[in-house]
Amino acid sequence: MIFPHKKGFTGTTEQQIGDVFARALIADVLCDARDAGANNLSSILESECTYLVSRRQLSVCGGWSYFPALPELPPDVDVLAQVMQVLIRCGRWSDLLAHVEPPLLTVLRDSIRPNGALGTWIIPLENRSATESRQARFVELAWGDTEDVEVNANLLFALTLYDRERFTQILQRGLEFVVDRQNSNGSWLSSWYFGPYYGTYVCARALAALGDQGALARARLFLVNTQRRDGGWGDGIICSQLGTALALLALCVVAKHLDLTSIDEVRMDRAVQALASAYAMRGGWHGSPFIRMDVGRPRGKDGPVLVYRSSAITAAYALKAVIAVDEVISLRRKATFVGT
């Protein structure tokens, strides 16, 4: 993405490259594949964990920034949560203690709002360095001091994996915030992601881990009502590959938590077939709009929308969705067999 010097950004170059969040997402999918029986992934996952740790910020509180070389962009809760999940799933507990605990403690000490939400940016309230003071200023100018429901949901899920008992109170308050932000149609919109399906997936995943059935039932209605005739999700002549994968993941999360015996295998199979058809018609995986940055939004002005898209991310989520469908259908059949 481009961050112009004339706007006050001081990166060595105006074009900034960030691969930490994307690689953490892909590593998480490789963990799914490993757990589903894929061989020869351990060395790749170890290498990715080592790389992710090497890209952390070297300030006192640490953490990870989406663009590590952009001085005005603070580390954030979303990247922290994604890296946490990979390190947890790979058993890198020494890295978690050394490199996750400091920024996590800063978040839990300085970023909790009265409504239970967490702010997105990891900046200490006191004893800031010059860089952190500049980052705080750019939160006001460019990024916005927002309460982003999809970011909160991602961290809540990570905390359930990390130490549910330790974070009981934070998880309960966070659950209430996520439920409160659900739209009347059952979806969740995101501040930093295009469309309703990423937000709906990560929020449903957090609520399933925390045990809220009412919001999940509303999410299921949204997913069922927005599924296309071809089995996929999204607008256009061809369904969105990324939107379909995310919606299918959300549907699997909801189905797994609410009632395994009521899972609609035909609906899920149609969604998988829609993914396969979209792949064939496009000749591969399509880099759909995924992450967005609305620079200038906090000042109430129209700013440029910076867009990140990636065919690799689409492919990763498609793989994750197919693995999830296989797991859910297998669990359903076992539950049905036991019931008979």
Per-residue pLDDT tens digits for 206-248: 999 998 789 999 999 999 999 999 999 998 899 999 999 999 9
Collapsing DSSP to helix, strand or coil, 45 comes out as: helix
- Domain final position from 127, 160, 181: 181
Rounded Cα distance, 336 and 340, in Å: 6
What is the predicted pLDDT for the residue at 290?
94
Asked whether 188 and 177 are in contact (CB, 8 A), the reply is no
Contacts of 240 (CB under 8 A, 6+ apart): 195, 232, 233, 234, 278, 286, 288
The residue from 126, 157, 181 where one domain ends is 181
Mean pLDDT of 178-205: 96
Least confident of 15-24, 43-52, 56-65: 56-65
Please give the full DSSP string across 121-188, using - where no structure is assigned: B---SSS--HHHHHHHHHIIIII-----HHHHHHHHHHHHHHHTTTTHHHHHHHHHHHHHT--TTS--
Residues 331 and 211 in one domain: yes
Let me know whether 166 and 297 are in one domain: no
Are residues 149 and 56 part of one domain?
Answer: yes
Q: Which domain covers residue 24, as residue numbers?
A: 16-181
- Mean predicted lDDT score pLDDT of the chain: 92
Give the gyration radius of the chain's Cα atoms. Answer: 20
123 shares its domain with 195: no
Residue with tokens 């001085």: 71
Same domain, 195 and 168: no
Please tell me whether residues 176 and 207 are part of one structural domain.
no
Phi and psi at residue 294, to the nearest 5°: -95, 85
pLDDT value, residue 339? 58
Does residue 9 belong to any structural domain of this protein?
Answer: no
Return the biggest CA–CA distance within the chain: 69
Q: Are residues 75 and 132 in the same domain?
A: yes
Q: How many domains does one find in the chain?
A: 2
pTM of the full predicted structure? 0.94
286 pLDDT more than 50: yes
174: left (phi over 0), alpha (psi -120 to 50) or beta: alpha
- Digit-coded pLDDT (tens) for 75-106: 999 999 999 999 999 999 999 999 999 999 99
Within a domain: residue 2?
no
What's the pLDDT score for residue 300? 46
Averaging pLDDT over each range in 91-95, 113-117, 139-143, which range is the top one? 91-95
pLDDT value at 298 more than 50: no
Nearest to 271 by CA among 215, 328, 207, 309: 328
Give the pair of three-digit tokens for residue 136: 């705080």
Mean pLDDT of 273-301: 82
What b/e string do you get for 173-206 counting C-beta neighbours within 10 Å, with b at 16 or more?
A: bbbebbbebbeeebbbbbbbbbbbbbbbbbbbbb
Same domain, yes or no, for 202 and 246? Answer: yes
Residue 305 pLDDT: 74
Task: Identify whether the C-beta of residue 192 lies closer than 8 Å to the C-beta of residue 153.
Answer: no
Residue 35: pLDDT band with limits 50, 70, 90: very high
Q: Quick check: is 5 in a domain?
A: no
151 and 20, same structural domain?
yes
Contact 280, 259 (CB under 8 A): no
